[in-house]
Amino acid sequence: MRKSNKWATVLVLLILCSLFFPRLSFGYIDPGTGSYVIQLLIAAFVAISFGIKIFWKKIKIFLLKVFHKNKPAA
Amino acid sequence: MRTDFTDLPSSFRDPSGFLFFKNQVLYRQVNKAYQKNYEHLMASGLYQSLTEANLLIPHEECDLPPAYPETAYKILKPEPILFVSYPYEWCFSQLKDAALTTLKIQKIAIEYQMSLKDASAYNIQFYKGKPVLIDTLSFEIIENWKPWVAYRQFCQHFLGPLLLMSYKDYRLNQLLRLFIDGIPLDLTSKLLPRSTRFRPGIITHIHAHALSQKYFSSKTVQVKEKRISRNSLLGLIDSLESNLKKLTIHSKRSEWANYYQETNYSPQGFEHKKQILKEFLNRLNPSGVWDLGANTGIFSRLASEREIPTLSFDIDPVAVEINYQECVSKNENYILPLVLDLTNPSPGVGWENKERMSLVERGPTDVVFALALLHHLAISNNLPFEKIASFLRKICQSLVIEFVPKSDSQVQRLLVTREDIFSDYTQPFFEKEFSGYFTIQEVVPIKDSERVLYLMQASHESN
């Protein structure tokens, strides 16, 4: 029971998430209802962090290009 | 169905198509139901992109009349995989590379508006030393951006087993032998140490995932269409990938540096042993070799250097790990290290015990090396010589076997803590028992050693 209490917050989020639950795809493997729900939850968080990651990556590439252009030829 | 076709017993789950043999050649039927997806795979450039990157097994379309014409769209002839291996036979890095390959394929597929509809570890095989996807029909067109249908399977087949190997014990991928669709996430969650409950990636992909599965297992949910963004899907793959990349097996690398370097040979004896093996190989000119008890694969490489498929088996996952690391660092294409306990080799598992083949079913091979192995089988496992010979006869045509006498320090070490009940463990008795199954062709004592190498040919009739 203690373990369940520890996960209470996660569970509440899962239940909230289930309200937006998608129609199951009829693929040949069972994606699992619980797996779909947790994936939606993760997806909501990672979309932002992934967006930021890509944004920084582009800035880094841009700066590297600028730095490389300004670098005098050896 | 035509009677000259044999369906592959493991190929029944996916309605997109199936594998079959005709005249011992493997073919894949693509069903009409999969036509649209197959056409997109080929026309979009995804197939070309993946095969050029050695991530997908190449195939050619052929005109073979189908076994089931009413459902058939095309017949493909994929490049053959010479030895099918299973995730419970892989070391940690092999499973990790297979997992990362799956994610890499998924990321490329998304660029071409397709997605993997399954993420089974059995769909990955080692081809020319590298993990590749062998199921050409694993892709589906992304119509709407939906959650990844194979996410659960990926966690059960790859992430969970790798976390258990990394955080608990590197032998735990053996659980995959029990659970054919991957280790259940609730079991992974229970087995992982408490410290993993403070790691966000493991909390979400395993602990909360398992809890979510449990919570929704008894619920009937009325659901409606819900999409996720492309970035969400890519973010999920990125999250799985970054969590996997961090994983290692906890062991002091320095301890591994000299792993299995200690042998019972003088440098002269060791070189002589290699020389004898090279001569045997020159004489046999085999098309394939299985090295049983290969340790880190020193002698296996005498075979793989000849550019023939060489399987390098050992019971110790750490030895296999070192062997595989060497394959990767030297970009070796012909050697495949695998974990195998010869006293309990991989059985046939799955539906009708036929979905995943036993070791014996995947043989025979041309040549078996059984070097410094006999005493482990005969003394540590009380196996009579006759039973060892009988088994080896089933899996090879030619046998290169080393006789290690009782006076050898390695045999004495095995006898230190137990009574010597092995009065039959003698060279004459070994020759007598093996002669029931093999014809002894050469007997060469190894210089500066008490050990003897035998070259034997399988008898046509055995006892």
Distance CA B389, CA B310 (A): 21
Angle between helices B427-434 and B385-395 (to 10 degrees): 40
Asked whether the predicted pLDDT for residue A14 surpasses 90, the reply is: no
* Residues of A in Cβ contact (< 8 Å) with B116: none
Cβ-Cβ contacts under 8 Å for B386 (sequence gap 6 or more): B433, B436, B463
Distance CA B124, CA B87 (A): 9
Return residues 85-124 of B near A (CB < 8 Å).
117-118
* Residues of B in Cβ contact (< 8 Å) with A23: 223-226
Contact indicator for B92, B317 with CB cutoff of 8 Å: yes
Distance CA B262, CA B410 (A): 11
Number of folded domains in chain A? Answer: 1
* Three-class SS state of B131: strand
* Residues of B in Cβ contact (< 8 Å) with A33: 213, 216-217, 219, 221
| Sheet with B438-445, edge to edge strand ranges | B335-339, B310-314, B289-292, B365-370, B396-403, B452-458, B438-445
pLDDT at residue B404, rounded to an integer: 95
Pick from A10, A20, A27: CB nearest B149: A27
Decide which of 3.40.50.720, 3.40.50.300, 3.90.1170.50, 3.40.50.150 is the CATH code for B257-458.
3.40.50.150
The two structure tokens encoding residue B259: 């792993």
Distance CA B71, CA B10 (A): 19
Distances (CA, A) of B433 to A69, B34, B457: 76, 55, 14
Domain with CATH 3.40.50.150 in chain B: 257-458
Domain with CATH 1.10.510 in chain B: 1-250
**Does residue B208 belong to the interface with chain A, where contact is any CB pair within 8 Å?**
yes
- Strands (E) in B117-175, as ranges, are 124-127, 130-133, 139-141
The two structure tokens encoding residue B127: 């081809």
Over residues B68-95, the pLDDT tens digits come to: 888 999 999 999 999 999 999 999 999 9
pLDDT at residue B457, rounded to an integer: 98
Residue B224, Cβ density class (10 Å: 0-12 exposed, 13-18 middle, ≥19 buried) = exposed
Residue type for position B115: S
Taking chain B (463 residues) in runs of 10, the rounded mean pLDDT of each run is 66 84 92 96 98 98 89 95 96 98 98 96 96 97 92 98 96 96 97 96 96 87 69 94 93 52 80 97 98 96 98 95 96 97 95 94 97 94 96 97 92 85 92 98 95 95 53
Backbone angles phi, psi at B313, to 5 degrees: -90, 145
Class (C level, CATH) for B1-250: mainly alpha
| β-bridge pairing B124-127 and B438-445 | unpaired
Over residues A20-41, the pLDDT tens digits come to: 444 444 466 677 889 988 999 9
Look up tokens 């997605």; give the residue: B115
Range of the domain at A53: 2-70
Q: What ipTM goes with this model? A: 0.78
